[in-house]
Structure formats: structure tokens, C-alpha cells
A and B are shown apart, each in its own frame.
Chain A
Amino acid sequence: MVRINEEIRKEYTIKPPPSHLIFEYGRDSMEEYMEKHGYAMESSYARRSEETKERVEAIKREGLDFYIKEEAMEKILRHCYEQALKGRESMGFLVGDVRKWNDVYAVVYDIATASLEASSVYVRFHREAFEELFDALDEIEYEYVLLGWYHSHLGYSSFMSSIDMETQRTYFTQPYHAALVVDPITREMKAFRIINEECVEIPYAIFR
């Protein structure tokens, strides 16, 4: 017989949010950020197939509570750029910690990814690649939380498709979870979460 003894809930670290922000969504331009870091692609790389993506309209919400460390951002953009050069979407987990100051907020310190089954319109982890993924998670030396996931679109722009929404709904339902959608061709990156069954675009910041 299987019997649950107790749940041990991870306690939020009490700490003020990062203060050295080098990018704030809404204030700064992601296009310029990508250009500056060498991850902006030419439109000739767009891989629009006959398949269309079903765009889920998002409402915008104010209130910054999602922070990404510069090094993690670099890894995300590099991964999306390199996959886009091959005409494929990219994907990985956003790894970090949940903290509390006045409110709860998320801090992404790392990413974890592995070999992908990817096309220009679809992506998931390769079925044989989970060991790689576990290795990536085992390299993280703190009690991590998967704060969400990132993936790329190749020239379709940054939005949540119906498949993306299903992933978000299945796995990332906590108030601090988010999905980052990067499009290195239209040079956008937006963050989304589901609130009350609605797709909501949220602000994010990159910190050093």
C-alpha cells in the first residue's frame, strides 16, 4: 500500500529582488539587446511552413515579478539562435528559485536543455535525451525549481500557440511560472503565463 506521510513545502527565500537591471521589458528594446549580443537574425532565415500556428491572444499585465540572470539569458538566446540557423525551434527549462520580498517573484539563474526533436514549427525533448537533461539538472548545485520553459518561433513572432498553452496548463500553473517565447528573426522575446484560464503577457527583467 502506498501511503503519504507528509508534504514538505519548499520555503521561499526572503530577499529583495535583483537591483542591477540591465534590461526591462517595456522600457528597453529586445531587438537592440539581441543585435548587441549578436543573436538577431536576418528575415531570410524565416522558416514559414504551410502549417500555421494557432495564436492565442494575450492580455498585458503590469507588475514585474520575473527576473532572468544575464548568463541564463545569454544561453537562451544562443540556443534559439543556433537552432534557428538549422531551421529548428529550440526549447529548455528555466531553472532558478522562488523568492519573497513584498510579493513572491521568480529568479531564473540557469537553463536546462537536451537534444531536441524539432522542426520549424514544433519542438520537444528527444525521447532518448532525458539522461542529458538529468545531467544538466544535476549540475545545478542548489535546490532548484523549474520556473517555466522557453522555446523559439522562427519568424512567426512571439506569442503562445495552442500547443504552448497546453504545455503551460499541464505543467506550469503556479503564479510564478512563465513561458518565454523567443523569435530571433522578428527579434522579440515575450513572457507569458496563464491567469484564470487567460493567456497573460507579463513584464520581465534581465539582471547582472
Chain B
Amino acid sequence: MKITIKDAETGNRISMEVEADNTVEEIIEEAANYWKKNPGAYVVRLGKKILQAELTVEEAMLQEGDVIELIPDPEGG
């Protein structure tokens, strides 16, 4: 199944093939490694919901053509 990962900080996207038993964590790690980001630093959203890292593609109910977006989680002080 083909999905897209969007990097909100650049607007760049990655088109990716995933399988039902892949986890969200595996997907994000692959994208984050490609973009040289820290995979654990992001909130991952699909539409209005946060995707939990431990969910599989099937459990997260990801579908063909879905766009997952990496959202920063900043802290200021």
C-alpha cells in the first residue's frame, strides 16, 4: 500500500510502500532517517488524530493514499 509522509517544516513529501504489519514507528523512522531528523521528536498526525508509534498500519487503519504529517513539538523557555 502506498502512503505519503509530509514534513511540515519544509513541505517536502515522501511516497512510501508499507505493509499491514509495519508499525507507525517503522514508517516514521524510515522517513526521519531519510530527512536526517530525530524520529522521536515529532507528533505524527493523520488528519485530526495522533498516530501512536506502536500501532501497526492495520491497527491505525491507514489506507492507500493517506498522508501522514510530522509536526514539531517545540518547547520554549
List residues of A whose CB falls within 8 A of some B CB: 1-10, 53, 89, 91, 93, 98, 121-125, 130-131, 133-135, 137-138, 143-146, 149, 151, 161-164, 166-167, 170-174, 177
List of A residues within 8 angstroms of B34 by Cβ: 4, 7
How far is B23's CA from A1's CA once the two chains are assembled, in angstroms? 10
Is the C-beta of B71 less than 8 angstroms from some C-beta in chain A? yes
How far is B48's CA from A5's CA once the two chains are assembled, in angstroms? 26
The answer to whether B13 touches A170 (Cβ under 8 A) is no
Residue of B nearest to A97 (CB): B11
The answer to whether B75 touches A98 (Cβ under 8 A) is no
Asked, given contacts A9-B12, A144-B11, A174-B9, whether A164 binds B17 with beta carbons under 8 Å apart, the answer is no
Asked, given contacts A5-B2, A6-B15, whether A171 binds B72 with beta carbons under 8 Å apart, the answer is yes
List residues of B whose CB falls within 8 A of some A CB: 2, 8-19, 22, 26-27, 30-31, 34, 38, 41, 43, 45, 47-50, 71-77
Point out which of A10, A137, A146, A172 has the most chain B C-beta atoms below 10 A from its C-beta: A146
Residue of A nearest to B36 (CB): A173
Given A4, A124, A131, A162, which contacts B74 in the complex, CB threshold below 8 Å?
Answer: A124
CB distance from B13 to the nearest CB of A (A): 5
Q: Is the interface of A mostly helix, strand, loop or mixed?
A: mixed
Point out which of B19, B41, B75 has the most chain A C-beta atoms below 10 A from its C-beta: B75
List of B residues within 8 angstroms of A122 by Cβ: 75-77
The answer to whether B76 touches A10 (Cβ under 8 A) is no
Residue of A nearest to B27 (CB): A2
List of A residues within 8 angstroms of B15 by Cβ: 4-8
Given A5, A134, A135, A167, which contacts B76 in the complex, CB threshold below 8 Å?
Answer: A167
Question: Can you name 7 A-B residue pairings with CB atoms under 8 Å?
Answer: A4-B14, A8-B14, A137-B8, A137-B71, A162-B77, A163-B75, A174-B9
Cβ-closest 10 pairs across A and B: A10-B11, A163-B77, A151-B76, A171-B72, A5-B15, A167-B74, A145-B11, A3-B17, A124-B75, A8-B13
Asked, given contacts A1-B22, A2-B26, A130-B50, whether A145 binds B10 with beta carbons under 8 Å apart, the answer is yes
How far is B18's CA from A135's CA once the two chains are assembled, in angstroms? 27
List of B residues within 8 angstroms of A4 by Cβ: 14-16, 30-31, 34
How far is B6's CA from A10's CA once the two chains are assembled, in angstroms? 10
CB distance from B8 to the nearest CB of A (A): 5
The answer to whether B27 touches A123 (Cβ under 8 A) is no
CB distance from A9 to the nearest CB of B (A): 5
Residue of B nearest to A6 (CB): B15
CB distance from A14 to the nearest CB of B (A): 15
The answer to whether B27 touches A125 (Cβ under 8 A) is no
